[in-house]
Amino acid sequence: MYSDKYWQKEEVLPKKELEDLQLKRLKWVVRHAYDNVAFFRQRFKERGVHPDDIRKREDITKLPFTTKEDFKVNYPFGLFAVPKQKIIRIHTSSGTSGKPKVVGYTARDLENWINMVARCMYMVGVRSKDVFQNMVSYTFFTGGLGFHYAAERIGAMVVPAGTGNTERQIRYMIDFGTTVIHATPSYAMHIKEVAESLKIKPDETGLRIGCFGAEPWSNNTRKRLEDAFNIKAFDSYGLSEMNGPGVAFECEEQNGLHIWADHYFIEIVDKNGEAVSEGEKGELVLTPLTKEALPLIRYKTGDVTFVMDDECSCGRTHPKIHRILGRADDMIVVRGINVFPSQIEHVLMQIPEVGDHFQVLITRNGSLDEITVKVEMRDEAFTGELSDFKRIQSKVQRELYKELGLRTNVELVERGTIERFVLKAKRVVDLRDEI
């Protein structure tokens, strides 16, 4: 630990020093990838670029991008830059189809990763006195072990709960005196609902902090979770290809996520792979600067965000990104209008009559795309009166129109009708190709 306030001294490195460190590490990782991964060597040659061409940070744009597709071609270990005996762990990230992406770690990679997640947890106030209940999957998913070892490193008491068996999770929270929880926001919403059905009041638990991530969620969901559990809830961003969680995390300001620039080089690009203007939104491209096992160059994450490069009152000098707006490939294009599911969530979660669960169905009616939002109502709002029902339905439709500029069909359903998820939610069902 560096001080009472920070886990590592690198968190407050002056900007110039941080940039110098980035350049030094960028040169190292580019050379490492070129020397040890045939795939990168060939890509560099095709592009007519050599590691010696990297003299300043801006030279990164000379390098080719790496994509999710490249994992498929190189399945399982073709992108690894060290011999197999130096890899001490692997994880996988399952895409929606085809082969999973296999990611590997050397002992030093794991050490760096543990420290990055520890930085994040320490940043939001987790200390050795805390009881940390880790309610995500512990297997191939990076969220389980990623948080587990970091919490142990801080010295917290770890409850390796995993997912599911929600009533027991709630029992343990109370019996063990859990103070910090980690879950996907959709599972946290489900836990909230089960706790409510058990008539457990937020202040009956000793919870203080919630770490939520691994999928898009909204500020209005944050409010609901904070009220239900009497906690402060923080957004946690990461991806398996960049170790897992611990890439970026909110600090106590809850306004943007610090992205650890001593370990990741950040770019935001448009559809053509060109840098966007400062502060504009686009796809996040990351180059890990210290990864020995998997030195991905200019990796296109598919996640859409923008850089909020203002000074932060927490004192950390690492840039902040806005919470992820959505995945480029999650974006629904309906009648020419781009919609991210998180925009819909944002609208729904601020309407008091609306419950915590929803689903978006996209269908085609002739040549016209239709979007139907199925929304659970809160029990209290469900009076049985048709006029109430109609009023709420038009209210939801009106609010969605204001945000999306798009007419939607709204179907109100009873609580418990829509599927619950213990890890990442699947909220959008696109039936356009099936009709």
Q: Which residues would be at the binding site for ligand DLL (CB under 6 A)?
A: 93, 141-143, 213-216, 235-240, 244-245, 301, 303, 324, 327
Rounded CA-CA distance 260/253 in Å is: 17
Taking the least distance from each CB to ligand DLL, the nearer of 340 and 382 is 340
- Residue 296 CB, nearest distance to ligand DLL (Å)? 13
Q: Which of 198, 194, 192, 242 is nearest to 212 (CA)?
A: 192
* Largest Cα span, the chain: 73
* Calculated CA dihedral for residues 289, 294, 299, 301, nearest 10 degrees: -110
- Residue 137 CB, nearest distance to ligand DLL (Å)? 9
Taking the least distance from each CB to ligand DLL, the nearer of 108 and 424 is 424
Taking the least distance from each CB to ligand DLL, the nearer of 54 and 320 is 320
Taking the least distance from each CB to ligand DLL, the nearer of 102 and 228 is 102
Q: Across the strands, what pairs with 326? A: 304
Q: What angle do CA 92, 147, 179 make, to 5 degrees?
A: 145
CA distances 323 to 181, 241, 420, Å, are 20, 19, 23
- Residue 395 CB, nearest distance to ligand DLL (Å)? 27
- Residue 58 CB, nearest distance to ligand DLL (Å)? 25
Taking the least distance from each CB to ligand DLL, the nearer of 142 and 343 is 142
Measured from the Cβ of residue 28, the count of other Cβ atoms closer than 10 Å reads 15
- Residue 219 CB, nearest distance to ligand DLL (Å)? 12
- Residue 56 CB, nearest distance to ligand DLL (Å)? 28
Q: Angle 38-47/15-36 helices, nearest 10 degrees?
A: 100
List, in sequence order, every beta strand (DSSP E) within 191-336: 209-213, 232-239, 244-250, 257-259, 264-269, 282-288, 299-305, 307-308, 320-321, 326-327, 332-334
Q: Are 409 and 339 in contact (CB under 8 A)?
A: no
Q: What angle do CA 286, 290, 303 make, to 5 degrees?
A: 15
- Residue 367 CB, nearest distance to ligand DLL (Å)? 31
Taking the least distance from each CB to ligand DLL, the nearer of 215 and 292 is 215
- Residue 394 CB, nearest distance to ligand DLL (Å)? 31
Rounded CA-CA distance 316/290 in Å is: 20
